[in-house]
Amino acid sequence: MGTVTVTLNQSAVVTLNGAGAGTAQLGPINIRETWSPAVASVKTNQAPASIVNEAQCKIYCGSDATDPNFVDGTLSGSTGDSTDDIAGQQVRAGQYVFAVWTGGDAGAQGRLNVQGTKVIAGARR
């Protein structure tokens, strides 16, 4: 038994509430996993022409979506944007990557996608 490194490509979705706000989160569920995200991407399921209110979206990495864990933000949370400012972060069980949308269209579905690598300790090769 040793460690195995695999590709990380996980997504989470949230339906924006009546105020156009919502939070999606992703993180390891197994204590043997450590995520090393390289890119976090956000967007909604809306066609660009159907967007009335372009959402803002902030990315956080840690135990909660508070200022000490802030990574990056975008004014293109509906049409889509990505950040590599998350590179170098280590995400362990109990921690998450959060995407927090505000000011978007009610009922739109926000999607957070995290890509990078995942190390699994104690895995069979």
pLDDT over 70 (residue 124): no
Q: What is the pLDDT of residues 78-119, one digit of tens each?
A: 999 999 999 999 999 999 999 999 999 999 999 999 999 999
DSSP strand E in 1-125: where? 2-15, 22-26, 33-44, 56-62, 70-74, 81-83, 91-92, 96-102, 109-123
pLDDT over 90 (residue 2): no
Q: What is the pLDDT of residues 33-43, one digit of tens each?
A: 999 999 999 99
Cβ 56 vs Cβ 103: under 8 Å? yes
Q: Which residues lie across from 53 on neighbouring strands? A: none
Domains of the chain as residue ranges with CATH: 2-119 (2.60.120.20)
pLDDT at 123: 63
Q: What percent of the chain has pLDDT over 90?
A: 94
pLDDT at 125: 55
CA dist 35 and 92 (Å) reads: 6
Q: What is the pLDDT of residues 59-87, one digit of tens each?
A: 999 999 999 999 999 999 999 999 999 99
Query: What does the buried/exposed string (b/e) look like for 63-83 if buried means 16 or more CB atoms within 10 Å of the residue's CB?
Result: eebeeebbbbbbeebbbbbbb
pLDDT at 122: 82
